[in-house]
Amino acid sequence: MVSNRLTKVAPSIKTLPLVQLFLLGAPIHDSNIHAAIESKINSLSLMCSRLSLLNAHQSLFLPKNAISIPRLSYLLRCSPCWQNIYDLQMYDEIMKSALEEITNSKFNENSWSQATLPIYMGGMGFRSAVKLSLPAYLASVNSTASLISLVILGIDISYLTSYERAKHS
């Protein structure tokens, strides 16, 4: 097989099973998406727990502009995270809890929906990972379709099964 030939040519190369492969932090195989999002959830929890050490303005500014979606956007664009809605809901719930602590108020479903609206629409400008995951993935796949077809000659972008599932979601 290919791995046997590779081992003969380059014996010091470490081969990993498909479920352990990550490229720049994004999982190569769909089975790793849960682990990647869980890692982001743990990181978000740690950062949100430290927000109480800052003043209110900084605590409100950092999650929106540096901590929440900006730290997750690469993963949302590179992997079909929209298939793991439960994990993304947990991510959003941690962000919601942090904002409730910062603003000293409770967000019901309507107020949380308004908080995730852009500022110009009367919201707080926070983005929902659940709502952003599918559009981010589709935009990334569509924007790289021509490059993919150049690298892999003759491939049609609809060949990607996760892309087809995403289009019909």
The confidence score (pLDDT) of residue 161 equals: 59
pLDDT tens readout for residues 90-125:
999 999 999 999 889 999 999 999 999 988 999 898
Please state, in angstroms and rounded to a whole number, the distance separating the CA atoms of residues 68 and 63. Answer: 5
pTM above 0.85, yes or no: no
**What is the phi/psi pair of residue 154, to 5°?**
80, 5
Domain boundaries, the chain: 22-132
The confidence score (pLDDT) of residue 159 equals: 56
Residue 42 has pLDDT above 90, yes or no: yes
